[in-house]
Amino acid sequence: MGIRIELQQYHRGSAIRDYAGASLLDNKLVNLHGYSNGGIDYIAHSDNVRSILTPFRSKVGQPLYSYHLIPQQGIFQTQEEINAYTGPDGQLIQPNAVPGDFKFADTNGDGKIDDNDRVFMGNYQPDVTYNFTLNLNYKNFDLTMFFQGVGGAKAFNGYKLSTYNASLQGYNLDNRVLNAWSPETPIPAFRDYLPATTTIPMAIHRAGT
């Protein structure tokens, strides 16, 4: 569902005309009637990044092609932080982590990190689009300027999976990983580095203009 608003203004006695417009978008999957006889209320899209990560899911009540990922809560700075991150039975939630690894959210509280911890994190479609046009006329010359942009969109950066992830083989790494976490630099210059022991990336960025 969308709403379009347009305004036009003409300056009497001058050679200036301007136009402005905006569209509001409400993107939501209403139902999946007829899609499955098993009562499934979502589509797990097969689009993938390097045949490893499938970040998209469409679920009734959510926007189409939403990002379905595990939230990242920060970086483990010490072994003590890793040891303190435990589940309901006292087990380590990320037993293979080392200092410098991402800390992921155990969203369902079962004491481990897996696909059941994925949550919806927005999608690529904007909430609003807008434009502005200005027309100027003088004698035999005219000038038209057009501006447009979007707001509320989020982009999934699949580039990070193959170039910031030291656990993958066969891909060149981005040279910015040289400024990744170390005990001497606990707040890395390059915060989005994915260490070798971490297997579930998350890379969502604002994409509005």
pLDDT digit of tens for each residue in the chain (209 aa)? 556 665 666 555 567 778 888 898 888 998 888 776 777 889 999 998 888 888 899 999 999 999 999 988 888 889 999 999 999 999 999 999 988 888 999 999 999 999 999 999 989 999 999 998 888 887 778 888 989 999 988 888 888 777 877 777 777 888 877 777 777 776 654 544 444 333 344 566 666 55
Report pLDDT for 11.
57
Please state, in angstroms and as integers, the Cα–Cα distance from residue 39 to each residue in 56, 62, 73, 116, following that order.
20, 17, 33, 19
In 3-state terms, what secondary structure has residue 163?
helix
Tokens 């990070």 correspond to 160
What residues contact 59, with CB distance under 8 A and at least 6 apart? 29, 41, 42, 43, 66, 120
Report pLDDT for 193.
42
Report pLDDT for 13.
55
Tokens 């027309």 correspond to 135
Report pLDDT for 189.
47
Cβ neighbours, 10 Å, residue 151? 14
Q: Assign residue 100 a region: left if phi > 0, alpha if psi is -120 to 50, beta otherwise?
A: left
Report pLDDT for 64.
92
Report pLDDT for 92.
97
Domain map (residue ranges) of the chain: 1-27+125-153, 31-69, 71-117+157-209
Query: What's the chain's length in residues?
Result: 209
Report pLDDT for 5.
63
Report pLDDT for 206.
67
